[in-house]
Amino acid sequence: MLKKQNFKGKTELVANWDTLQRIFIRPENEEVRATLVKYMEQILFGLHDFLMKNVGITEEASLKELSDRFRDSRINRNPSKKLADVIKGIIENIAPHAVNVASPYFIGHMTSAIPFFMVHLQTIVAALNQNPVKLETSKVVSILERQVLAKIHRIIYDKNDVFYEEHIQRPGSTLGSFVEDGTLANLTAIWVARNIFFKPLSGFAGVEKEGLAVAYQAYDIERCVVLVSQLAHYSLRKSGGVLGIGNENILPVDVDSSNRMNMGKLQTAIRNLQKGPGPKTRILAVVGIAGTTETGTVDPLPEIAEICAENGIHFHADAAWGGPVLLSKKYRSLLSGTEQADSVTIDGHKQFYMPMSCGMIYFKDPHIMDTVAYHAAYINRPGSVDLGIRSLVGSRAAMSLILGSALEIMGARGYALLIDHGIETAHAFAEEIEARPLFELVTSPQLNILTYRIFPEDIKREWNKADCQKKKTLLAGLNNINITVQRLQREAGKSFVSRTTLKRRGCEDMVVLRVVIMNPMTTIDIIGEILDEQEDIYHRQFMCAQG
């Protein structure tokens, strides 16, 4: 878009109208086309070649150093770079200090490699630039989105043909909704549950219209709560805060020894809340998790469903992580009970291997989202097919086009192979941990996430004969070892596992190393290398001092 001018002997970039218009004109001439394709080639392979050579997360430049490079807060009056320079700059200056999430040695978070074709699909979305908030800026893409929502709804709820035939393209039905991420999907679910609970009564127009304070009066209650596993994602607390319920009213229920919500505790909590002393309380929802962020565990969903049904409580399943396991014939049963949830969160950018970001919320009842419908004079008019009518968000990218295409390219079986690999590799990882005396497996993988820690044998022996006070000291030491080894491995730049702190009622917090296996290139050999490196770091760092 730039014109070069000689100004006092210097070549300068200048924005002017002619050059500016050119960037909006479709390139008719072969030379321009060739240039634009060359840029794409640089993006596709320049970036990737760099990442190939630099497998890990390098810490060559400290945060402080990097921050110092990005301190200029002024926008240049004239253009300072051409597209080619921007691409070059990103390859040379950004990529080396970004995180190589595609590396098979990067097994610490839920962000991983994505198939190559996903980049192409994202490019299509940008080139078409449709806005599915309304039909007038998306048309067929809104219709396609409804189909994609029905496809995912079907893998969750597996209703019959008559059901999908009726609802798939019916403007008044909502099988689900795309939002930015799992946080907003969970927020949408609790929003809907809140509004269903505080529905209009005679003399009360509903909580969405009149607000929570009036709703509490209308329903003669003083407090409402949501029950979640102690391992629930923090977005549920945030939802409680945003929705006016108060995040202290998102109540954690203890987990059992397998890190699954304890059903006895859940029933006691419900009984106490509904009939106990204290403020008059109602339960808006119980949230079961299919794949907790920290341990990948799956709550006893069928039991939660039964308890919710008995008590008339909205059952939300947070399957942001685990949802796509439903595509695996082999492991689908791990998620059984999801089909009984009133609402289900699934993330596209997690185990659907989509680029950032794509949250989705699904509902068993295609009319339940009516309770969050909004209209305006210029869009989302009542009766229209605009998808923005029932949606937390307004304008958004057509991520459904990516997911719909990916389902065609991969097939259910393609995704199932990835899922199966993740789960089976995580189990192999667990076996490897148990075979190595330096480590202790803390949470076994139910899906493809596990936690473990360094627990040297000499400390184990001390632990077994230690009293309470001594154990406290030993744990502090262990936590420090694990924090240090994780940090040093990350800084070495070859591999990355994450760490978290497990909170256990009546116990001190335990620092653990956390592993998420979703990259199909992560083999058991690579896992061996990662553990070897941790052992090396441990020995180098702690053995001299102790030995």
**Smaller CB separation from a copy of itself, 219 or 542:** 219
In the range 447-486, which residues lie near a copy of itself by CB under 8 A?
none
Residue from 4, 5, 92, 129 in contact with a copy of itself (CB under 8 A): 129
Q: Write the burial class of residue 365 (CB in 10 Å: 0-12 exposed, 13-18 middle, 19+ buried).
A: middle
Q: Cis omega before residue 495 (within 30°)?
A: no
Query: Would you say the C-alpha torsion 415, 417, 419, 422 has a positive or negative sign?
Result: negative
Site map (CB under 8 A) of a copy of itself, residues 506-535, x = contact: --------x----xxx--------------
Residue from 5, 21, 258, 274 in contact with a copy of itself (CB under 8 A): 21
Q: Provide the phi-psi class of 54: left if phi over 0, else alpha when psi is between -120 and 50, else beta.
A: beta
Residue from 197, 218, 227, 237 in contact with a copy of itself (CB under 8 A): 237
Q: What number of chain residues touch a copy of itself (CB under 8 A)?
A: 184
Min dist CB 419 to a copy of itself, Å, is 11
Min dist CB 261 to a copy of itself, Å, is 17
Min dist CB 377 to a copy of itself, Å, is 4
Site map (CB under 8 A) of a copy of itself, residues 318-347, x = contact: ---------x-------------------x
C-alpha span between 274 and 509 (Å, rounded): 31
Rounded to a whole number of angstroms, the distance between the first and last alpha carbons of the chain is 65
Query: Applying CB under 8 A, does 150 fall inside the site for a copy of itself?
Result: yes
Site map (CB under 8 A) of a copy of itself, residues 350-389, x = contact: -----xxx-x------------x-xxxxx-x----x----
Q: Which helix (H) or strand (E) holds 176?
A: strand 176-179
- CA-closest candidate to residue 35, choices 95, 87, 79: 87
Query: Applying CB under 8 A, does 98 fall inside the site for a copy of itself?
Result: yes
Query: Applying CB under 8 A, does 88 fall inside the site for a copy of itself?
Result: no
In the range 244-273, which residues lie near a copy of itself by CB under 8 A?
244-249
**Smaller CB separation from a copy of itself, 217 or 546:** 217
Encode burial over 98-110: b for 16+ CB neighbours within 10 A, e otherwise: ebbbbbbbbbbbb
C-alpha span between 426 and 255 (Å, rounded): 22
**Smaller CB separation from a copy of itself, 26 or 275:** 26
Min dist CB 537 to a copy of itself, Å, is 18
Query: Applying CB under 8 A, does 7 fall inside the site for a copy of itself?
Result: no
| DSSP tag of 279 | S
Min dist CB 466 to a copy of itself, Å, is 25
Please say whether the beta carbons of 224 and 173 come within 8 A: no
Residue from 56, 176, 240, 456 in contact with a copy of itself (CB under 8 A): 240
Contacts of 281 by beta carbon, 8 Å cutoff, 6+ apart: 221, 222, 223, 224, 225, 273, 274
Residue from 264, 394, 437, 528 in contact with a copy of itself (CB under 8 A): 394
Site map (CB under 8 A) of a copy of itself, residues 269-308, x = contact: ------------------------xx--------------
SS3 424: helix
Count of CB atoms within 10 A of residue 113's CB? 18
In the range 154-173, which residues lie near a copy of itself by CB under 8 A?
154-155, 164-165, 168-169
Residue from 109, 332, 427, 471 in contact with a copy of itself (CB under 8 A): 109
- CA-closest candidate to residue 46, choices 93, 98, 87: 87
In the range 197-226, which residues lie near a copy of itself by CB under 8 A?
205, 207-214, 216, 222-223
Query: Applying CB under 8 A, does 493 fall inside the site for a copy of itself?
Result: no
Beta bridge partners of 252: 228
Selected range binding a copy of itself among 174-182, 267-275, 430-438, 537-545, rule: CB under 8 A: 174-182
In the range 180-199, which residues lie near a copy of itself by CB under 8 A?
180-184, 187, 191
Min dist CB 6 to a copy of itself, Å, is 18
For the chain, how many residues are written?
547
What are the structure tokens assigned to 327, written together?
A: 């595509």
SS3 500: strand
CA dihedral 542, 544, 545, 547 (to 10 degrees): 100
In the range 62-81, which residues lie near a copy of itself by CB under 8 A?
63, 66-81
Residue from 3, 54, 99, 494 in contact with a copy of itself (CB under 8 A): 99
Q: Which long-range contacts (CB under 8 A, 24 or more apart) does 331-334 make?
A: 331/419, 331/420, 331/423, 331/447, 334/298, 334/446, 334/447
Please say whether the beta carbons of 416 and 328 come within 8 A: yes
